[in-house]
A and B are shown apart, each in its own frame.
Chain A
Amino acid sequence: MKLTDEETAMRAGKFGPLRQWAIEHQIKVGTYLGADDFVAVGQAHIMADTESLGAAGVEWLEQWAALPVEQRQVRIPTITDPRGTDFAHAARLKQQPWMLDLERRAIAAFEALGVLMTDTCINYQTIMPPVRGEHMAYGDTGVVIYSNSACGARSNFEGGPSALSAGLTGRTPRYGFHLDETRQATFLVETAFTPRDLSDWGALGGIVGRLAGDYSQVPALIGLDRVPQSDEMKHFGAALASFGSVALFHMAGITPEAMRIDDVVPSGVTLRTHEIGESDLRALQARYAQDIGAVDVVVFSAPQLSLVEMQSLAAMLDGRYADIPLFAVTSPQVKPDADRMGLTARIEAAGGTVLSGMCFYQSYAREMAEANGWRSLATNSAKLTNILGGYGYRPVLLSMEQCVAAACAGGKLR
């Protein structure tokens, strides 16, 4: 990779050992992935729940946090993805003291590094949305795909170590979705059915993700009959990224780089085309629901709920009572508004629990299942259904209304 004088100085250790490690890490990654040079980024977003970090990762962070201030602090706004707990409800979730201790240590280390503990995967709705053409170093695949696709920003999937590196150096290797040529569509999806429900948007994202297959693929959707709302785009993108490792999609006439489909289809190229209808969505949902008559727990998470989703959930729960655990997971930015507007109180009066600053699957999901006896789970998040099988759950993908109905019927599915 070509390095500027400043990058060469960083590599030589002139800015301390942490920035030296950071740029060396970025050079290793950039070289593997074919980057010619670096590009300056506006923000970094770090995924670093302690289930992923483990004790080794927390110790690794703490060694850097012990450096002098001028050597350890990030250079650009650097924010965090959800953490592994909501301390206020850890006992309710039966999380263990060692988990909370690791969380506290990780938080202290990140604060020492100058990181803003936003603890959210919906920063594009609540913190500072990126603008078209802005280069970013975002972690959390849902954040990346929304920012790239709905906003026209430019980010690759940046795992925790690489996002931290970008925060420290203010740049990232220029490969993948920082480049014009990789942002063109690689296949087309003709949709005869425009979803109306968030879980259906997620199911559509899951199906397109399976068709995609890998990170280099960029689907372009044709045929949607209206512009999806932000929460709809959020569920679609999160599932697409989760099922397919996809970081960018286009919607013809909707997303900013695809106002005309010809803008994202290489000239003279015939792309493979797939047709998706409502029956495909129902088939995906049915596959998860096989042989499950009742669920043990209902979870709304992945991504964290917006204020609008919190309002919808509160309205569905009014006058009803959830007699199995029901969790609504939102961000620390939405939670105070939900409290102030009475949404939290309405959800909790109906037996639900509002969790803030965490995400269900990033919070020791396997240990929570074992401690609470949770086996089957209902959610309206296609992303969550895709992840939780590996953690020992039997997930079911339902609409928010169907999830609420199940929670208020002792978990029974109709």
Chain B
Amino acid sequence: MSGKIFYAAAGMGRKVKATALVASDGFSARYDLDRIRGVFSRPEHKLAGESYRGRVLVLDAAKGGVATAWMLHEMSARGIMPAALVLNRANPIMVQGAALADFTMISGFDLDITKAIPNGAEVEVDPTAARPFIRVA
């Protein structure tokens, strides 16, 4: 698995390296997170109770409402936020939120990225490359 690279359809933000937190589940900052404690708080979420601080979140699809467009900026200002978001399928809200917060996000793969990246792997995410990618270190 080491060195394996997966290309995304689109990306924004900066290059980051961090530990992956992976689940076949959705993502919404309002619905799923306790943003004060920095943990997934929705009981039904597969990452319930897990800290997301400084992790590269590898998840299936953007979910929920529009609040994430502000919340990524607010989380960034307090320094309790993921290192990056890697999604099979983004929605406009995640893109808008990442744009405001200057947050690293890539999305759109030709396979299920939540199956391809092992939970806990060290990964590199580069949205600045000609073809944005995530690589297992």
Interface, chain A (partner B; CB < 8 A): 25, 28-29, 32-34, 47-49, 51-57, 60, 139-141, 156-162, 175-176, 213-216, 241-242, 244-245, 361-362, 366, 386-387, 389-392
Interface, chain B (partner A; CB < 8 A): 10-12, 26, 30-34, 41-45, 61-71, 73-74, 76-78, 89-93, 95-97, 99-100
Query: What residue in chain B is nearest A56 (Cβ atoms)?
Result: B77
Q: Is the CB of B69 within 8 A of A162?
A: yes
B49 to chain A, nearest CB (A): 12
Residue among A55, A244, A389 making CB contact with B42, cutoff 8 Å: A389
Q: What separation, in Å, do the CA atoms of A139 and B68 have in the docked complex?
A: 12
Q: What separation, in Å, do the CA atoms of A60 and B72 have in the docked complex?
A: 13
Q: Is the CB of A157 within 8 A of B70?
A: no
Please indicate the chain B residues that have their CB under 8 angstroms from the CB of A156 in the complex: 92
Please indicate the chain A residues that have their CB under 8 angstroms from the CB of B11 in the complex: 32
Counting residue pairs across A and B whose Cβ atoms lie within 8 Å, the total is: 135
Residue among B42, B77, B89 making CB contact with A216, cutoff 8 Å: B89
B135 to chain A, nearest CB (A): 21
Q: DSSP majority for the A interface?
A: helix
Please indicate the chain A residues that have their CB under 8 angstroms from the CB of B76 in the complex: 56
Q: What separation, in Å, do the CA atoms of A141 and B69 have in the docked complex?
A: 12
Please indicate the chain B residues that have their CB under 8 angstroms from the CB of A175 in the complex: 92
Residue among B26, B32, B66, B73 making CB contact with A57, cutoff 8 Å: B73
Please indicate the chain B residues that have their CB under 8 angstroms from the CB of A161 in the complex: 69-70, 73, 96-97, 99-100
B110 to chain A, nearest CB (A): 16
Q: Is the CB of B77 within 8 A of A387?
A: no
| 8 nearest CB pairs, A to B | A159-B69, A56-B77, A54-B74, A215-B91, A390-B42, A52-B70, A214-B61, A52-B67
Knowing A215-B91, A242-B65, A245-B61 are in contact, say whether A32-B73 is a contact too (CB < 8 A). Answer: no
Q: What separation, in Å, do the CA atoms of A303 and B70 have in the docked complex?
A: 20
Please indicate the chain A residues that have their CB under 8 angstroms from the CB of B61 in the complex: 213-215, 245
Residue among A47, A55, A386 making CB contact with B66, cutoff 8 Å: A47
Please indicate the chain A residues that have their CB under 8 angstroms from the CB of B95 in the complex: 29, 32-33
Q: Is the CB of B34 within 8 A of A366?
A: yes
Residue among A52, A54, A55, A390 making CB contact with B31, cutoff 8 Å: A390
Residue among B42, B64, B78, B96 making CB contact with A158, cutoff 8 Å: B96
Q: What separation, in Å, do the CA atoms of A391 and B31 have in the docked complex?
A: 8
Knowing A53-B70, A54-B74 are in contact, say whether A215-B34 is a contact too (CB < 8 A). Answer: no
Q: What separation, in Å, do the CA atoms of A161 and B93 have in the docked complex?
A: 10
Please indicate the chain B residues that have their CB under 8 angstroms from the CB of A55 in the complex: 74, 77
Please indicate the chain A residues that have their CB under 8 angstroms from the CB of B44 in the complex: 389
Q: What separation, in Å, do the CA atoms of A214 and B76 have in the docked complex?
A: 25
A68 to chain B, nearest CB (A): 23
